[in-house]
Structure 1
Amino acid sequence: MARTSFDKSTGPVSRIMQAFGFSMQGLGAAWRHEAAFRLEVLLAVVFMPLAIWLGRSTIEQLLLVGSIALMLIIELVNSAIEALADAISTEHHPLLGRAKDLGSAAVLLATVLAAAIWASLLLPRWWPG
């Protein structure tokens, strides 16, 4: 069940718990309705443990894991933009199309960044230059 707003009559701990619940609902909705998100989560399940194993230092591990996490985050934002655009109108509108294209471009850039981070950290180990 989707939320409408926070219950402002509760204390900060209750609001944090509500926010956590809403976040979990969002992740569940992304998993149920977004094929791209499901694919990226499955890739993350493979690549995040690899990042921990392959990273030579904590910084390398954080860069490798963080690049995958950033892709997931941007995919969630893109999915939110697309859902909002579809809720406004399913008919073609240039600004809604632009919003969807910009969200997609953000996912592409996050993916290219992740690939560049992985390549720059791992390729020199196998192909020293």
Structure 2
Amino acid sequence: MNNKPKYHLFKNTKYALSGLKHVLKTENSFRLELFFAIFIIFGILVIDASLTYKLILLVTGILVLIVELVNSAIENVVDLVTKQFAPLAKTAKDIGSTAVMFTILLHVICWILILWDVYA
């Protein structure tokens, strides 16, 4: 059985927007990170840094959102498989959360190093 539909640009865009709508309704972490992204983008525009530095900050900021989306997908699949406590299910969710934490840490380190280079 093949559950993969044929690729159509507009249908696939509709699926992506449906996923975004779902995540905005159900995932507090994503909404919080999206809220902070507004301030991050403002900060990127305000700092007196090179275009390369600004792109690094933008990319690492967007990466946080992407990894959070992947983490949410992992959590949804785990919840689909079992609602009962299972050590492997917990481990899968914890590893996804660790990926988000490392991505946020990477973004913060980039901010610190760039601000240090620009203003020190």
Tell me the TM-score normalised to structure 2 length.
Answer: 0.90
Q: Deviations over 1:85-128 (max 9, x none)?
A: 111111111111111011000000000000000000013444x2
In 1, Cα distance between the equivalents of 2:111 and 2:48?
10
One of 110, 113, 117 as aligned partner of 2:110: 117
Structure-2 residue corresponding to 1:60: 53
1:89 aligns with 2:89: no
List structure 1 runs of 4+ shifted beyond 6 angstroms. none
1:69 aligns with 2:70: no
1:80 maps to a residue whose letter is A
In 1, Cα distance between the equivalents of 2:40 and 2:100?
17
Percent of residue pairs bearing the same amino acid type: 31
Contact conserved, 1:78 with 1:104, CA < 8 A, in 2? yes
Give 5+ residue unaligned stretches, structure 2.
none
1:99 aligns with 2:92: yes
One of 59, 72, 76 as aligned partner of 1:79: 72
Contact conserved, 1:55 with 1:61, CA < 8 A, in 2? no
Q: Which has the higher contact order (CA 8 A, sep 6+)?
A: 2
RMSD over aligned CA atoms reads 1.6
Question: How many pairs does the alignment contain?
Answer: 118
